[in-house]
Structure 1
Amino acid sequence: MTDDQLRRWADLLCDYCLGVKPGEVIALGSELEGRPLVEACYRAIVRRGAYPVVRLDLPGLAEYFVEHAPEAMLSYLPPLSLYEAQAVDARIRIAAEHDTKAMSRVDPRRQAAVDRTRAPLRREAMKRRWVLTQFPTPAYAEDAGMSLAEYEAFVGRALFLDRDDPVAAWVDLGRSQAGLVEFMSGVSDLHIEGPETDLRLSVAGRTWINSDGRRNMPSGEIFTGPVEDSARGRLRCSFPVCRGGREVSGIALEFEGGRVVRASADSEEAYLHSMLDLDDGARLLGEIGLGLNPGIDRFTGSILFDEKIGGTVHLALGQSYPETGGVNTSALHWDLILDLRRGGRITADGSLVMEDGRWLVG
C-alpha cells in the first residue's frame, strides 16, 4: 500500500475509531508483516501526544508455545499481561498473519485450554476503547483467491480509503444504519430462513448497536445479543468458518432452548466439537449481526470482512457483548455466516423485512 494510504488508515484508526488524546497510553499490537501500518500508527499516536506501547509478534512463536509448553503453562496467565490490559487507555490490534493455517497443526484441546486461560484478558480489553483492523498480507490474499495488489485494493474499498474523505464516508454509513437500528429496536422475534436454515430467536428487550467502524475497521453492521434461551431450529453455514488456523466447512447446528444440541461439519468436525465444549456458554448464541457494508461483496476467508458482506447474517456462538444486554459468558466468540442473498429471508414479528439480501425497512 502507498504511504498516503497508510497515513490515512492510521489517522482513521487514531481519530475516528479511538479519539486518541494527549497523555494516553495506546497499546499497538500486530505481527511482523503488519510493520508498515504499525509504523504509521506509531507516528500518528506520537503526533497526538500519546504514548505507544508496541507488541510485535514473530511468525511461529505463538504456535510453538501452544504446541510445546508444559500443560501447566497453558493454564497460567502472567500477571504482567493482565496488568497491561488494565493499564492502557486504548488498544489498536492489527491482524497481519504470515500463515493463516499455522494453528491447524496444533492439538485443538491445547488451543482451547489457552483460549480459556486468556479469557480475562479479552474481558479487560472490552472494557476499554479498542479497534481491530487487518493488514493485507500475501497469506490473506491467497485465502481470498486474489493477487496481493487486488487484495490491497479490496481492503482499501472496504475501509473507504478510496474515498476523498474516509471519515465522512463512515459517518454517512453510520447514519444509514441508524434507521435500521431504530426499526429493529422495536422487534421482539426474528425468523431466519435460507438454504438448510430455519431458525427462530428472540431479541426482545435487547439493545441494537450501530457498528460504524469505531471498533472494527472495516465494519458496516448492526448487532445485538439474542435472548439466551430463545434460539430454536437449525442453520447451515453458507461459507467455511476460519478460526485458529482451521477451515471448518459445512457447519450445521440444531438449537433447542437456546443451546446447540446437535452439530456436524464436513471438515474439522472434531475441532467444532472441541469449541462447543470449551465451557458452559459456548453452545449459546452471544450475537446476531446484520451485514451492511457496500464495499464488501465477496467471501475472503477473513471474518473481519466476511461478516460485513451486505445481505448476510452472522450468528456468534459464545460470549455476548454486555452493551447489547446479552449476559452469556464464554471464552469463545465464534461468528458463523449465513448468506441470504439468494433464497434467504428474515421475518420480524411476522412481517417480511429482508428478502434475497435486500432490506425492505430502515
Structure 2
Amino acid sequence: MTPSSDFQAKLARYAELLVRVGVNLPAGGKLLVNAPLDAAPLVRQVVRAAYQAGALDVRVNYHDEHLGLALLEDGSDDAVGFLPDWAAQEAQHMLADGYARLAIRGDDPALLKHADPERVARRSKLTAQAMREVSAAVSSFAVNWTVAAMSTPAWARVVYPDLPEAEAVARLWDDIFKVTRADLPDPVAAWGQHTADLARRAEYLNGKQYAAVHLRSGLGTDLTVGLATGHIWQGGAERAKNGVVGVPNLPTDEVFTMPHRDRVDGWAVASKPLSVRGQVVEGIRVRFENGKAVEVTAQQGEDTLRKLIATDEGAAHLGEIALVAASAPVAQTGTLFFNTLFDENAASHIALGRCYSTNVQGGDDAERLKAAGGNDSLIHVDWMIGTPDTDVDGVTASGEREALMRGGEWVI
C-alpha cells in the first residue's frame, strides 16, 4: 500500500520536529541516528531535514532486533557472554567528536517473551558494562540527544492486537503524530509553548527545594521519596554541555529530579505494565526501606523484575522521580503502548538504578554526586505508578506539606 500524501506530509513534519526540536541540530552540526530496519522511510526524511538544517555529516546505524534473539536462542553460552573490546569504541569516538544522537524506537515489546531470562539478564548486563562510559556521557548531556519512536508492525500488533496489521500500524502512527504534536500545522511552535510550561513548573519546584515528595494513589502507592541534597528539577528542553538546547524525549510531559538513594520509604504500586528486556512485567508491587527495594512482587514477569533489581547494588535503589499530569496527551489516548518512552509520559513514575548527574548541583563531580545522595547503577528503568487519583505533596525540611498534584493534576 502506497502511503497517502497526508501521511507523507505528517512524516516529513515529524522528521523536521526530531531534527529542529529534538536534537535541535545547528548548522555545521553532526548527527548519529540509531534506528530499526523498519525505520528507513522516516530515517530518509530525518537525513534530509538534517542536511536542510545545515548538517555537516549524518551517520545512520540500522539494527535488527531479531539478531539478538538469534544469539539468545541459538548461541552458545560463550557467545552470549562475549562482546569484543572495541564494541563501544565507535560510539565513544563519535561522542568525543560532538555527534548529536537520535535514537528511533519501534521494538517488539514481547520479542524475548520465551527467551531464557537468565541469558537475557546476562547479555543485558554485559552490554550495559561495555557501554557504561557512553551511557554516562549521554545521561550527563555531553552532547544534544533525543529518543523518539516510529510505528512498526511488531509493536503495533502488541498495542492493537484486535486490528489487522496494516490498520494497527496506521493507528499507532496516528497516536505518535498526536502525542508529539506532529499533526499540528506548526509543531515547532507548539513545542516551544509546551516546554515553557514544563520549565515554569521545574523553576517553581527548584525554588521550593523540598526535602521529599509524598505520592499516594488508590492502587496502594504510599511512597515518600526523599530528595537529593541540592537537587535540580528538570523537564522539557535541556541544555547540553555543548550549549545546544534540545528535547531529549519526544513525547515528554514529565518534570523530574533525583531522589536520595537512602531516603525512599513505602510502597510503590505500578499503574501500568513495564516492557523491559523484551518481556512484559505486570502487577509490580515494591516496598522500599531506607532507599532499598526490600519486598518485590509482580503478577507476571516477577523473575525478570528480580533479575533486573539484582543487576548490581544500585539497581535496588531509585535514580529518578518524575511527575506527570494524568491529562497528558499520551494518557488522553487511553492506549497502553508497552513502550516506556510513551507510557512514562502518561503517568508519574520512578526509575530504578542510575541517576542523572544533571539533577543535582555539582553532579559532574563523582564525589559530590555521591555525597548528595546520587545513585549509580548499570541500569536506569522507569516504571509508572501515577493514576488519575494520585495526590502528591511536597514535604519541607520541617515536615510541612504543600499540595503539588491532586487527582493526578498539577495544582501549582
TM-score for both structures, normalised by structure 1: 0.92
Residue 245 in structure 1 maps to residue 278 in structure 2? yes
Residue 95 in structure 1 maps to residue 105 in structure 2? yes
Deviations 1:302-324 (A, max 9, x none): 21111112xx2100001111101
**Structure 1: gaps (5+ residues):** none
**Residue 207 of structure 1 corresponds to which residue in structure 2?**
232
Which of residues 218, 231, 235 is equivalent to 2:268?
235
* Contact kept in structure 1, 2:31 and 2:55, CA below 8 Å: no
Mapped partners of 2:26, 2:202: distance in 1: 29
Mapped partners of 1:271, 1:175: distance in 2: 38
Residue 153 in structure 1 maps to residue 174 in structure 2? yes
Residue 345 in structure 1 maps to residue 391 in structure 2? yes
The CA RMSD over aligned residues, in Å, is 2.0
**Residue 219 of structure 1 corresponds to which residue in structure 2?**
252
Partner AA of 2:281 in structure 1? V
Residue 86 in structure 1 maps to residue 92 in structure 2? yes
Deviations 1:128-164 (A, max 9, x none): 3221111012333333336333222111110101212
* Contact kept in structure 1, 2:109 and 2:280, CA below 8 Å: no
Deviations 1:38-90 (A, max 9, x none): 11112223332322221112351011123344444444443443222122211
**Residue 328 of structure 1 corresponds to which residue in structure 2?**
375
Give the 3 Å change call, closer, same or farther, for CA 207–100 of structure 1 in structure 2.
same
Deviation at 1:20, TM superposition (A): 2.1
**Residue 116 of structure 2 corresponds to which residue in structure 1?**
107
Partner AA of 1:294 in structure 2? A
**Residue 144 of structure 1 corresponds to which residue in structure 2?**
159
* SS at 1:228 equivalent: strand
**Residue 343 of structure 2 corresponds to which residue in structure 1?**
306
* Contact kept in structure 2, 1:115 and 1:331, CA below 8 Å: no
Partner AA of 1:352 in structure 2? A
Mapped partners of 2:65, 2:292: distance in 1: 37
Partner AA of 2:387 in structure 1? L
Mapped partners of 1:94, 1:250: distance in 2: 28
Deviations 1:191-225 (A, max 9, x none): 11112111111125211112247111111211111
Mapped partners of 1:115, 1:191: distance in 2: 32
**Structure 2: gaps (5+ residues):** 238-245, 361-368, 396-400
Partner AA of 1:209 in structure 2? Q
* SS at 2:304 equivalent: helix
Mapped partners of 2:329, 2:266: distance in 1: 32
Residue 357 in structure 1 maps to residue 408 in structure 2? yes
* SS at 2:385 equivalent: strand
* SS at 1:140 equivalent: helix
Mapped partners of 1:20, 1:74: distance in 2: 37
Residue 176 in structure 1 maps to residue 185 in structure 2? no
Partner AA of 2:91 in structure 1? A
The more displaced of 273-282 and 206-215 is 206-215
* Contact kept in structure 1, 2:254 and 2:348, CA below 8 Å: no
Deviation at 1:124, TM superposition (A): 3.9
**Residue 273 of structure 1 corresponds to which residue in structure 2?**
306
* SS at 2:235 equivalent: strand
Give the 3 Å change call, closer, same or farther, for CA 55–340 of structure 1 in structure 2.
same
Mapped partners of 1:118, 1:240: distance in 2: 24
Give the 3 Å change call, closer, same or farther, for CA 57–256 of structure 1 in structure 2.
same
Mapped partners of 1:196, 1:128: distance in 2: 39
The more displaced of 254-263 and 331-340 is 331-340
Deviation at 1:278, TM superposition (A): 0.7
* Contact kept in structure 2, 1:86 and 1:125, CA below 8 Å: no
Give the 3 Å change call, closer, same or farther, for CA 179–19 of structure 1 in structure 2.
closer
Mapped partners of 2:79, 2:89: distance in 1: 18
* SS at 1:210 equivalent: coil
Give the 3 Å change call, closer, same or farther, for CA 130–68 of structure 1 in structure 2.
farther
Which of residues 64, 87, 91 is equivalent to 1:58?
64
Residue 26 in structure 1 maps to residue 64 in structure 2? no
* Contact kept in structure 2, 1:238 and 1:338, CA below 8 Å: yes
Which of residues 38, 46, 51 is equivalent to 1:41?
46
**Residue 318 of structure 2 corresponds to which residue in structure 1?**
285
* Contact kept in structure 2, 1:32 and 1:96, CA below 8 Å: no
TM-score for both structures, normalised by structure 2: 0.81
Aligned sequence identity (%): 27
Deviation at 1:273, TM superposition (A): 0.8
* Contact kept in structure 1, 2:14 and 2:177, CA below 8 Å: no
Give the 3 Å change call, closer, same or farther, for CA 135–239 of structure 1 in structure 2.
same
Partner AA of 1:37 in structure 2? L
Mapped partners of 2:281, 2:34: distance in 1: 27
Give the 3 Å change call, closer, same or farther, for CA 223–41 of structure 1 in structure 2.
same
**Residue 295 of structure 1 corresponds to which residue in structure 2?**
329
Mapped partners of 1:28, 1:316: distance in 2: 25
Aligned length: 357
**Residue 191 of structure 1 corresponds to which residue in structure 2?**
214
Residue 317 in structure 1 maps to residue 352 in structure 2? yes
Partner AA of 2:330 in structure 1? I
Mapped partners of 1:235, 1:320: distance in 2: 18
Partner AA of 1:308 in structure 2? N
